[in-house]
Amino acid sequence: MKQLLFLLLAGAVLAVPRDVRACDVCGCSGGGGYFGILPQFQRHFAGMRWQERVLDSYHPASSLEPAANARSTFRTLDIWGRWYPLRRVQVLAFVPVHFFEQNESTALIKTRGLGDATIIANYTLLNTGDSVMRTWKHSLQVGGGIKLPTGRYRLTDSDGVRYHANLQPGTGSTDALLNVIYTLRRRSLGLQVDAQTRLNTGNANRYRFGHRQNAAIRLFWWKNIGRNISVLPRAGFVLDAAQKDVWYGSTQEATGGYATYADLGLDVYLGDFAVGAGFQTPVWSHLGDGLVTPKGNLSVTATWMFGGKKAAVMPVVPTFLNVSPLKN
């Protein structure tokens, strides 16, 4: 068991590039993130999630513009769900709607619109959560998916000038995702380790966001406090990273970065309904060559579970998919 945990963590760390991206790690159109820890294995669900990410940035003076500070707020409403077509296969999907805002000196820029939809399929290689003979419960899932270019990526201001790629609701690219999820549990205590890689392609503007990686490790605890009420608090760390962007074959400066966050959250289960909230506060970061400072990420979720085999909150099987601070 110790060897397996070591290999998962080592793989997540080695997957992170040394040269990575700025606003990608702070939250923009591509969304990226985590569904987190979800209960009632093999039950379908549908829900909504509100995400908000805030960052400060500094733009050095150039021959055309003076130095400036900016605060950016990226808000996203996700419509998302899970479906089990087969016992060992789960399909996850979400469609985001973005509300972006950047305040720099006297200029205020606001953009909004449908983002890029994502579909992921996970296969359960191992699940001993129902076994009464085992003290330690294990779950291992591997999967992959695709992000589709459903969002607009050529929005312009009133003068016809196109907004920066980071403020566009969509990316204009079709991207591939790979992920692995492992859960270890003993009674009401558990540990989740997950990692995801997104391989990005270029869009029609010849702009390609840097490939991105994220990984997380979380401890969780489950408690029934009533006949149909359970709570599941969690705490851990999240690492987000992405490579530098490329435009017409040229690496873009002030892109690339990584950030480590302390992650706290609480989910409450009320029969077939669940509500939750989570907050990520930055612990250590180096974004945009040091020009970008993340301030924190907030998420609020509401889900309705239906169909499948109805069970208690446990066994817990985590689901990993686009609240991460990465853009694409």
How many domains does the chain contain in total?
1
pLDDT at 324: 36
pLDDT at 226: 80
With a cut of 70, say whether residue 51 has pLDDT above it: yes
| pLDDT averaged over every residue in the chain | 82
Residue 86 lies in a domain: yes
Residue 122 lies in a domain: yes
Strands 107-114, 118-127: pairing is unpaired
* Confidence band for 42, pLDDT divided at 50, 70 and 90: low
State how far Cα 1 lies from the chain centre.
27
User: Higher-confidence residue: 221 or 327?
Assistant: 221
Residue 141 lies in a domain: yes
- For residues 5-27, give the mean pLDDT: 36
CA 310/CA 319 separation, integer angstroms: 18
pLDDT at 173: 96
Percent with pLDDT over 70 in the chain: 80
User: Higher-confidence residue: 325 or 116?
Assistant: 116
User: Higher-confidence residue: 155 or 22?
Assistant: 155
pLDDT at 164: 86
C-alpha distance from residue 62 to each of 59, 66, 68, 159, 191 (Å): 9, 6, 10, 22, 48
pLDDT at 17: 34
The tokens of 27 are what?
Answer: 């939250």
Single out the residue of 82, 27, 37 nearest to residue 212, CA to CA.
27
177-196 confidence digits (pLDDT tens): 999 999 999 988 999 999 99
Residue 112 lies in a domain: yes
CB 49 within 8 A of CB 301: yes
* Top mean-pLDDT range of 19-23, 41-45, 60-64, 246-250: 246-250
Classify residue 311 by burial, with Cβ atoms within 10 Å: 0-12, 13-18, 19+.
middle
Residue 53 lies in a domain: yes
- For residues 190-208, give the mean pLDDT: 94
* Confidence band for 39, pLDDT divided at 50, 70 and 90: low
pLDDT at 309: 60
With a cut of 60, say whether residue 242 has pLDDT above it: yes
* Confidence band for 15, pLDDT divided at 50, 70 and 90: very low
With a cut of 90, say whether residue 104 has pLDDT above it: no
- For residues 154-161, give the mean pLDDT: 91
- For residues 169-174, give the mean pLDDT: 96
CA 162/CA 125 separation, integer angstroms: 46
CA 81/CA 62 separation, integer angstroms: 46
CATH code at 275?
2.40.128.130
- For residues 218-238, give the mean pLDDT: 91
* Confidence band for 205, pLDDT divided at 50, 70 and 90: very high
Residue 245 lies in a domain: yes
267-306 confidence digits (pLDDT tens): 999 988 999 999 999 999 999 889 999 999 999 999 999 8
CB 38 within 8 A of CB 317: yes
- For residues 17-28, give the mean pLDDT: 33
Residue 325 lies in a domain: no
pLDDT at 310: 55
With a cut of 80, say whether residue 41 has pLDDT above it: no
Residue 267 lies in a domain: yes
Domain with 253, as residue range(s), is 2-59+68-319
pLDDT at 131: 64
